[in-house]
Amino acid sequence: MTQNDAGGSAPALRTDRLGRRYGRVWGLRDCTLEVPAGAVVGLVGPNGAGKTTLLEMIIGLLQPTEGQLSVFGETSHAHMAARLARVGYVAQDHPLYRDFSVADMFHLGRAMNPSWDQELAQARMDALAIPLKRKVKGLSGGQRAQVSLTMALAKRAPLLVLDEPVSSLDPVARLEFMREVMAAAVGTGLTVLIASHVVSELERLCDWLIVLTGGHVQLAGPADDLIAAHRLLTIPRATADAELPGLIIHRTDSDRHSTVLVRTDPVRLAAQQPPGWQADLVGFEQLVMSYLQRPSKAAAKDDTAQAAARPGPATKAVTR
């Protein structure tokens, strides 16, 4: 898979204060990220959070209003074909031409992509028992999703971008689809970016996480690092926010106790932790859900404070 080495040591994706405005509304703002090559990234956020906006700018379907973006070091809009060649894209709802056969779709892929891998495409259809002669309109939703995925993979691009790939599928098709994505990602060096609002399906797959709400990046980094940088504190209810070490992400008060998710330095917390406080590691899903529930205005306000606590945007390569 030599194509996956495109760009050498450049990060798969780098954005710097990237923003996109629709009329007077910002779909995405101040998005600064650096995703290493080979990462499998979950991009989580509620509907309207700016996920599709970010993805469409990565592919080149949308032009940023402000900021910079590079894919494997390629920034130039003058070389649109070079940009397009680096990204395989599975769009939401898996658009395909309804009156095309599967073979026609692959013919289109071959005609429009110089690095098209016809053998891979046909082998995948054989394995999935999808007949090449079948028209797209005769395929099930799950099969269409698989054809879309196959087209993106056969393009042999080093970055695979999936926008809500399973939200329209039934549970069995979801499982099969994610299994195929995982099989394609593991051990090949392919960088994968999956946008979803279903957190549970990402946990097993992703080693990198980006949480987006209200057009702002709330959280970004290797999943293990993020989990290590958070603690779930159980404390007496009377404890004031100011007394808590680190940044408060989410607080739930019950009669006598409060449960607080904080972003903190575990070493400092261990040194300062008063008796009667309990500090637990947080799970992937709970971590994500806590950030999703956070009002985005609060997030925007303490962006600067958060930047200090942020565990350096992906300075260390993810080992897989």
* CB nearer another protein, residue 60 or residue 215: 60
Q: Which is nearer to another protein, 155 or 310 (CB)?
A: 155
Answer for which of 80, 198, 270, 305 binds another protein (CB under 8 A) is: 80
| Percent of the chain that is helix, strand, coil (3-state, to 5) | 35, 25, 35
| Identified binder of another protein from the candidate list 24, 25, 47, 114, rule CB under 8 A | 114
> Pick from 95, 236, 283, 295: which binds another protein (CB under 8 A)?
95
Closer CB to another protein, 59 or 287, in the complex: 59
Q: Are 44 and 221 in contact (CB under 8 A)?
A: no
Kind plus residue range of the DSSP H or E element containing 275: none
Per CB under 8 A, which of residues 227..246 are in contact with another protein? none
Looking only at the bridges linking them, the beta strands covering 230-236 and 216-222 are: unpaired
**Residue that has been written with the tokens 């993805």 in this structure:** 55
Q: Which of 17, 98, 301, 320 touches another protein by CB under 8 A? A: 98
Site pattern 27..66 for another protein (x: CB under 8 A): --------------------------------xxxxx---
Which residue's CB is nearer to another protein, number 63 or number 293?
63
Taking the C-alpha atoms of residue 136 and residue 133, their distance in angstroms, rounded to an integer, is 9
The C-alpha atoms of residue 166 and residue 262 are separated, in whole angstroms, by 31
Say whether residue 307 binds another protein (CB under 8 A): no
Q: Given the complex with another protein, which of 93 and 303 has the nearer CB atom?
A: 93
Q: In what order do the strands lie in the sheet with 257-263?
A: 247-253, 257-263, 230-236, 278-280
Of residues 130-149, those binding another protein (CB under 8 A): 148
Q: Is the Cα torsion angle 282, 196, 253, 300 positive or negative in sign?
A: positive
Among 25, 81, 238, 271, binds another protein (CB under 8 A): 81
**d(C-alpha 175, C-alpha 10), whole Å:** 32
Beta pairing, strands 159-163 & 191-196: parallel
Contacts of 184 (CB under 8 A, 6+ apart): 149, 153, 160, 190, 192
Closest distance to another protein from the beta carbon of 131 (Å): 19
**Binding residues vs another protein (CB under 8 A):** 59-63, 77, 80-81, 84-85, 87, 89, 91-93, 95-100, 104, 107-109, 111-115, 148, 151, 155
